[in-house]
């Protein structure tokens, strides 16, 4: 893992020195180079000067709300951003994600969770590899031919179900907000029609999950959206 992430530079924007120290410890151990900023303004300056590969942004900064920093940042930069928020801020998390953040993490967080999220974010900037076959669990997706099979048996997916699956594969490991998925699949007018999404997620899980009561791949992020988790993604 360390060889893979050796070159990556992570900027931590948080006013709590303990959190910064902890993140530095965790990230440096995992082989990342860590930069720190205490305020939103300092953070933006750091991004401008160092152009880090990913940013970990706290929502509660002393000089300006993290979401404001994000909005300003998105006007000129597309660096992946991971939001750090405290418990009970579902609304601001969704707002952050809709404002252009790529994922979020709730304080207090676990080390493994943080590193997994970061890997998913950095995957986006990895040189694109043409993937033809995508595997998770007993499922195999043939991207070129738009075909899905389970244990070698062909599964019948509607085109909408397939588009949903494809969206998840593209953003694997990352959270997708309800609005984002609805906009991608049904267009901007359908952004609020969450019952479409609930219905299709149920159908997709029904076809692809092993145990509906304990979905392994398509996980629910309450009040925010869904996350596609696949640890053993293979390509061929």
- Binding interface with other proteins (CB under 8 A): 87-88, 90-91, 108, 156-161, 178, 186, 193-196, 198-202, 205, 212-215, 220, 222-223
Distances (CA, A) of 100 to 68, 81, 82, 217: 11, 8, 10, 24
Distance in Å, CB of 122 to other proteins, minimum: 26
Which CB atom, from 118 or from 164, has the smaller least distance to other proteins? Answer: 164
Which CB atom, from 108 or from 152, has the smaller least distance to other proteins? Answer: 108
C-beta of residue 47 within 8 angstroms of C-beta of residue 77: yes
Distance in Å, CB of 159 to other proteins, minimum: 6
Distance in Å, CB of 223 to other proteins, minimum: 4
Q: Which two tokens stand for residue 188?
A: 């901007």
Angle at 78 between CA 87 and CA 113, to 5 degrees: 35
Which CB atom, from 32 or from 218, has the smaller least distance to other proteins? Answer: 218
Which CB atom, from 138 or from 206, has the smaller least distance to other proteins? Answer: 206
Which CB atom, from 50 or from 193, has the smaller least distance to other proteins? Answer: 193
Distances (CA, A) of 142 to 33, 185, 207, 210, 216: 37, 20, 16, 20, 21
Angle at 133 between CA 213 and CA 234, to 5 degrees: 70
Which CB atom, from 88 or from 236, has the smaller least distance to other proteins? Answer: 88
Distance in Å, CB of 206 to other proteins, minimum: 10
| Rounded Cα–Cα distance for residues 178 and 226 (Å) | 7
Distance in Å, CB of 27 to other proteins, minimum: 20
CA dihedral 184, 58, 70, 126 (to 10 degrees): -60
Distance in Å, CB of 185 to other proteins, minimum: 10
For the chain, how many residues are written?
236
């Amino acid at each position: 893992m360390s060889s893979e992430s050796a070159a990556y530079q992570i900027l931590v924007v948080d006013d709590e020195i303990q959190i910064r120290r902890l993140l530095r410890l965790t990230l440096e151990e995992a082989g990342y180079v860590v930069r720190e900023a205490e305020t939103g303004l300092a953070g933006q300056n750091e991004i401008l000067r160092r152009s880090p590969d990913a940013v970990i942004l706290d929502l509660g900064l002393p000089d300006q709300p993290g979401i404001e920093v994000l909005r300003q940042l998105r006007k000129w930069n597309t660096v992946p951003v991971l939001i750090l928020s405290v418990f009970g801020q579902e609304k601001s998390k969704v707002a952050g994600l809709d404002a252009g953040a790529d994922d979020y993490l709730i304080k207090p967080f676990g080390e493994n969770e943080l590193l997994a999220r970061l890997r998913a974010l950095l995957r986006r900037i990895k040189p694109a590899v043409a993937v033809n076959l995508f595997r998770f669990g007993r499922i195999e997706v043939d991207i070129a031919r738009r075909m899905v099979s389970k244990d070698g048996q062909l599964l019948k997916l509607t085109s909408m179900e397939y588009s949903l699956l494809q969206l998840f594969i593209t953003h694997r490991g990352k959270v997708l907000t309800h609005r984002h998925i609805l906009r991608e699949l049904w267009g901007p007018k359908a952004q609020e029609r969450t019952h479409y999404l609930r219905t299709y997620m149920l159908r997709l899980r029904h076809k692809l999950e092993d145990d509906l009561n304990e979905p392994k791949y398509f996980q629910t992020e309450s009040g925010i959206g869904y996350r596609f988790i696949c640890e053993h993604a293979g390509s061929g």
